[in-house]
Amino acid sequence: MKQALVLFLGLIFYTSFFSSQNPVSQSAPQRNSDTVSADLLKLTNTWNEAINSKNRAELEPLMAPEFALYRWNGELLAPRPDWLKFLDDTEIKEYTVRGVSPKVYGDFAIVTSVCTWAGVHSGRSFDYDSIMVDTWRKTNGKWQVVARNSCSPTPATASTPSPCSR
């Protein structure tokens, strides 16, 4: 939770500080932002394909060393090694991602999407429709996912104060 809050506050500070310090015309940054958004869309698709195929050679370079999966409330669910082990130990029946929408903030980006994720893990079947927020960071010219926050509301929980109980 603290990491997500620090990241969020740092992102706000970075964008507000640098946008007020370096005013520029809208046309050039928009084109650059569109290009970066297209790049992040491709990277997101590559990451999703690597998840489906459990291709560690493609997954590993896309994930920052400090990557972690968080619940919607910011609670740590799985650090990178645990997330990769869970993926290795899961029989994926379906993993589809739709509604992918990248938003670029300098060297950070937020990619929102909706996911259908079904399979078997430890002998137990699961089938979730989830909302995901992936945080990407550009370091040394390379984009990597540093965090994923997800929520799988059900019809019964969607209108409650805590819709993401899983």
How far apart are alpha carbons 107 and 29 in whole angstroms? 13
pLDDT reported for residue 7: 41
Q: Is 19 within the bounds of a domain? A: no
Nearest to 104 by CA among 35, 2, 24, 50: 35
Query: Mean pLDDT, to the nearest integer, of 9-15?
Result: 39
Q: Is 113 within the bounds of a domain? A: yes
Task: List the domain range (segments joined by +) for residue 117.
Answer: 26-151
The CATH number covering residue 50 comes to 3.10.450.50
Total residues belonging to the chain: 166
- pLDDT, tens digit, 9 for 90 and up, residues 92-147: 999 999 999 999 999 999 999 999 999 999 999 999 899 999 999 999 999 999 99
Q: Is 10 within the bounds of a domain? A: no
Query: Mean pLDDT, to the nearest integer, of 85-94?
Result: 94
Q: Is 9 within the bounds of a domain? A: no
Q: Is 160 within the bounds of a domain? A: no
Q: Which residue has the higher pLDDT, 154 or 148?
A: 148
Q: Is 75 within the bounds of a domain? A: yes
The DSSP result for 12-80, as a single string, is HHHHHHHHHHS---SHHHHHHHHHHHHHHHHHHHHHHHHHHHT-HHHHHHHEEEEEEEEETTS-EEEEH
Q: Is 77 within the bounds of a domain? A: yes
Q: Which residues contact 47 (CB under 8 A, 6 or more apart)?
A: 58, 59, 62, 145
- pLDDT, tens digit, 9 for 90 and up, residues 22-60: 443 333 344 477 888 999 999 999 999 999 999 999 999
pTM to 2 decimals?
Answer: 0.76
Q: Is 165 within the bounds of a domain? A: no
pLDDT reported for residue 166: 56
pLDDT for 15 beyond 50: no
Query: Mean pLDDT, to the nearest integer, of 67-87?
Result: 94
pLDDT reported for residue 165: 62
pLDDT reported for residue 19: 43
**How many domains does one find in the chain?**
1
